[in-house]
Amino acid sequence: GHWPSESQEWKDEAVRRWGALVSAGEADDWEAFVLSRLSKPPPPSPMDLLQEYYAHDTWQLLVACALMSRVNSWTHKHNCISGFFEKFPTPSAFIAADMNVVREIMYPLGLFDIRLKTLTELSKKYLSMPAFTLDETENKIWGCGRFVVDSYKIFCRSEGTTLTPDDATLHSFVRWLRCQPSHS
């Protein structure tokens, strides 16, 4: 394919990727809207992290991190997260969802009300910010703490080699990443 050349084509691309609710917000610059949400994932690692499965889609990566936080079992996390994206592949699909269906999928992870509030805030900001970015200060999203922000920077923004994550697994991934020829 080719990149859109006009504002309406960029808006159409945003709707194609993230659903009809992006058009509820009127971005001044649809190209910036789309490009700020495109992921720049690192190379695949031998660590088989869940983030690597979702790094191709910034919203999905952020949702996966919010869902996996404070859950130990890889299999449990993987099953719930993949089930979530089968039902809600885009932020628009999630916002429009029947909350009983959401509850059924997310309930096994625990902390349902907190996770629901996080995913709702995240999805609304993702659909409405003129240019999407996430950090722990002025671009903070409720419920998205250091683990989510570091995962975003590592797996979507190509900033992994500049970070020293607190999370032991992310720290190991960053050490591995720094040893890769294209990132050293």
Catalytic residues: 167
Longest dimension (CA), the chain: 47
> Concatenated DSSP letters for 113-180?
HHHHHHHHHHHHHHHH-SS----SSTT--TT--HHHHHHHHHHTSS-GGG---SSHHHHHHHHHHHTS
Position 182: which residue type? S
50-84: string of b/e by CB count within 10 Å (b at 16+)?
A: bbbbbbebbbbbbbbbbbbbeeeeeeebeebbeeb
DSSP 19: -
